[in-house]
Structure 1
C-alpha cells in the first residue's frame, strides 16, 4: 500500500470485507475516497446512548521499502513470522496496530457487545505523504458526518515500551509537534573558479546555516509535556530524574533545562527545533556558484506558531540576501488536547489487569500524525496504539521492520479491555 504501489484501496476493501463477514451491515461500512487508488474505510459499531461517538483511526498506507535495503532473506512486502516476530513493512507503522483495532471491531460485533455510544473506525490513505489530502483531511472536508466525534483515539500514536520484554511505560499522546519545511536560497553572479571572490553563494548560505545550527528556541512547555517530564522522572535516577522534576515545574529550572537539552529527545520535547537536512549548490566544478539551496526541517511545539518560528529564523540569519520560502506548511497550528481523565483511567484499568508496575503518562509526539487534522477541526485526539515495542528496537520506516508476536496478541487483548473500560455498555 505504498504511494508508488497499489495505494490504499485494496486494503480498505479487504477490511470492509472482513467487517461484512463479521455481521456489520452494508449501511455501516463506507469505502470512499477522492480517487480509485486512494480510498478510506469507515465503519460504525452502534451504541446504546446518544453521546457523540468515539473515533478510532489509523492509516493503511506504508512508506517505500527497497528490497536491497533489507536483509537478504527478508522481503519487505512479504509478511513473515520468524523467531517470535512478525516481519514486514508496516508491522510497526502501522498495519500491526490497524489489525489490532479491526480484530476488536470484529470481536465486538460477534460478541454482541453494545457500547454506551457509537464507536467509529476510520482507516485512511496517505498519512505517509506530505499534505495528506486523501485521508483524514479529505474525510473531514467531504464527509465529516461519518467521522465526527466527541474525541478520537489515534492507533498510530502514543508510545508503549518494554524493557527486557516486560512492559514498563505507556505514553498516551495528547499533543504533537507541527512539521514545516523551508528552503533557504542564495544567489550570486558567479564567475570562473580561477578567480575566487569573497562574495560566494555557498559561503553566504553556509553562514546562515551556521547561525541556525547555534539557534536554540525558547522552552515551550504545556500541561502535556510538564506531566510527561514529571512521569519520566520515575523511570530515571540521579541528576536526570531531578532535572525532569525541575523542568516540570512552572517556571522550569534553567540549569535543568540546559542539561536536558543535551539529549536530542528531551531537547525536542522542550522546544521548537530546526535542522538542515538537504543541500544543493553550484553548476560546475570550475565555476563559482550562482545559486545555493538548503532545506530546513522544523518541528514546532504546541504553543508556538509557524509565523513566530519564521520570524525567529529571519532574525537569526540576519541577512536579506538569503531568501526564505515555505516548501511545506499547513495553515493551522493545532494545540495539545486537554488531558481527558476518562481516557487515562481506562488505559490504567486495562493495563493493571494485564501487567504490573507500568508507568502511565501523557506524551507529546515529536513527529507528525493525522491527529493534527482532527485537533485543528476541534476534535481532541489521544494516541493509544496498544502495540508494545522493545526499547531501542524502533524500526518504523527502517530495515527489517518487525513486532514481537506476543506483543501483537497482547495488544489485541489490551484494546478490548481498554475500550470496554472507556465506552462501557
Structure 2
C-alpha cells in the first residue's frame, strides 16, 4: 500500500543511497557522446541504455528497450501505484553527453572517478547524476515492494543534447501510448541549492524554460574570382546579417516565473532588483545569475559559419547558424523580428522547440517542497526559468507539465552552473545521497 506517513517521518538508510554513487560512476564510463553528427556518434547511448535495462530487470521490472536508430537506445518501464486512476508521474533522464577534451581535464572525463568527495566525469551533472538517482530509487521500490500513491513511469532516453530527435521527440511521435496517462514530469536542471546565508538555502525548481530556436541562415550571391570587385558577395551578406544579430539586444521582458523568482529572492534576502540595473543586481545572487540574466530577454547568439572552398574563389552561397532562445509569450513575433534584423536577401529556416511555463503550485509542487524540507529543514523552494531546454519540451506535446527537479544540496563554494558542459564536471557524493533521499520522500507522497 502507499506510504501514508507524514513526509517529515525519518527514513532509514536505503540500498538506493548505497547504490547511487556506484551507478553514477559506472554510467559515466559509457562514452555516450552526442556530437550531433550521425557519422561520428557511436553506440555509447545504446550501451548505457542496456546497462539501465539490465539493472531494472534484475529487480523485476518489465522494460521496453527501443533503438530509434542503430546505437540510440531508449528504455521505459512503469511502477504501478496505489491509485491506477490518477494520472501518472513521469521521471525522465537522458543518457547522452556532450564531448569532452581529455587534455583539459584534471581526470579522465570518462573514468567516473570517485575522489575528493566527488564523482568526476562528463555527464556527472548533465545528467547521469539524476539518471543514477532515478535508477537507484526505481530499484529500491521494486525490490522492497513499495507502492507509490500513483503510477510512476521511468524513461531513460537518447539524444537530448541534440534536440531529442532520436530520443524523447521520437518516442512522443511513435510511442505516445507509453506516456498516455502521464500528467506531470520531473527531470533535470532544477532542485539544486544556492546558499543564501550560513543557515538557509534556496532550491531552484525549474517551472519554465526558454524556447530553443535555431535559425539557419543562407545568403546567395554571384560567384567569382577573389581578386575582382564583387558587389553581390554571399560571404559579405551573411557576415553582415550575423553581425547585426550578434550585436542586437532584445528588450527586457519580465515573465511570470522570473518575476516570482525575483520577488521571492527579495523576500528572502532583502535584495532589490531595479529594472534600470537588473543584470548588475542579479549578479549579486552568485554564479546562478548567469542563468537568471539569460532569462530576462530573448537572445540570438551566432554559433556557426560555413562558406567558401578556396582562398581566391568567391562562393555563390554562405551559411550561418544562430542559437536563439525565446521567452514564453514572445514566440509569436520572434521570427518576424529575426527576419527584420537580418534584412533582405537572407533565407531563414528554423529548428524550433517552443518555450514552457507551468504553474508553481499544486500537489506535486507541495510534495517537492515537503521532501526538501524534510531533508533540509532550512530549505526554501523557489521557482525559476531555465535559459536552456530539456526533454520536458517533447513531453509537453502530450500535455505533460514538466518541472526541473533533480535535487542536490550543494556546497556554498561550488560554481554549479559552470559545470554544465564544462571542464572537470563533477557532482558531490553527499549531494547524490541527499538527492536520492529527497526523491524517495517525493515518490512516497506524489
Q: Answer yes or no: same fold by TM over 0.5.
A: yes
CA offsets, 1:216-248, max 9 Å, x none?
Answer: 3344443322212222335665xxx322xx6xx
Question: In the alignment, does 2:49 pair up with 1:12?
Answer: yes
Q: CA–CA distance in 2 between the matches of 1:177 and 1:121?
A: 25
Distance 1:179 1:25, change over 3 A: closer
Aligned position for 1:345:
366
The offset of 1:200, in angstroms, is 4.7
Give the one of 51, 56, 78 matched to 1:44. Answer: 78
8 Å contact kept, 1:172–1:382? yes
Q: CA–CA distance in 2 between the matches of 1:336 and 1:76?
A: 34
Distance 1:271 1:162, change over 3 A: closer
Distance 1:66 1:187, change over 3 A: same
The offset of 1:413, in angstroms, is 1.1
SS at match of 1:76: coil
Question: In the alignment, does 2:352 pair up with 1:321?
Answer: no
Aligned position for 1:383:
404
Aligned position for 2:29:
none
Question: In the alignment, does 2:167 pair up with 1:135?
Answer: yes
Give the one of 326, 331, 339 matched to 1:300. Answer: 326
Q: CA–CA distance in 1 between the matches of 2:237 and 2:50?
A: 53
Q: CA–CA distance in 2 between the matches of 1:409 and 1:165?
A: 21
Give the one of 95, 103, 119 matched to 2:152. Answer: 119
Give the one of 161, 172, 175 matched to 2:193. Answer: 161
Q: CA–CA distance in 2 between the matches of 1:55 and 1:78?
A: 30
Aligned position for 1:273:
299
Distance 1:388 1:289, change over 3 A: farther
Distance 1:47 1:183, change over 3 A: closer
SS at match of 2:171: helix
The offset of 1:363, in angstroms, is 1.7
Aligned position for 2:99:
64
Residue correspondence of structure 1 range 336-375 to structure 2 within 5 A: 336-375=357-396
Question: In the alignment, does 2:412 pair up with 1:398?
Answer: no
Question: In the alignment, does 2:125 pair up with 1:101?
Answer: no
CA offsets, 1:62-107, max 9 Å, x none?
Answer: 2222433423xx2222221111111122111111111111111121
Give the one of 33, 54, 74 matched to 1:2. Answer: 33
Distance 1:46 1:350, change over 3 A: same
Distance 1:98 1:166, change over 3 A: farther
Unaligned 5+ residue runs, structure 1? 247-252
SS at match of 2:439: helix
The offset of 1:203, in angstroms, is 4.1
RMSD: 2.9
The offset of 1:314, in angstroms, is 1.8
CA offsets, 1:268-321, max 9 Å, x none?
Answer: 21221111122344444445565443321101111122x52121012223x312
Distance 1:165 1:200, change over 3 A: farther
Unaligned 5+ residue runs, structure 2? 1-31, 35-40, 284-288
CA offsets, 1:122-153, max 9 Å, x none?
Answer: 111211223x2332222222332322344333
Per the normalisation by structure 2, the TM-score is 0.80
The offset of 1:398, in angstroms, is 2.5
8 Å contact kept, 2:68–2:74? no
Q: CA–CA distance in 1 between the matches of 2:347 and 2:202?
A: 44
SS at match of 1:11: helix
Aligned position for 1:209:
242
8 Å contact kept, 2:98–2:161? yes
Aligned position for 2:5:
none
8 Å contact kept, 1:260–1:266? no
Per the normalisation by structure 1, the TM-score is 0.83
8 Å contact kept, 1:191–1:287? yes
8 Å contact kept, 1:47–1:118? yes
Distance 1:151 1:294, change over 3 A: same
SS at match of 2:91: strand
Aligned position for 1:250:
none
The offset of 1:110, in angstroms, is 2.7
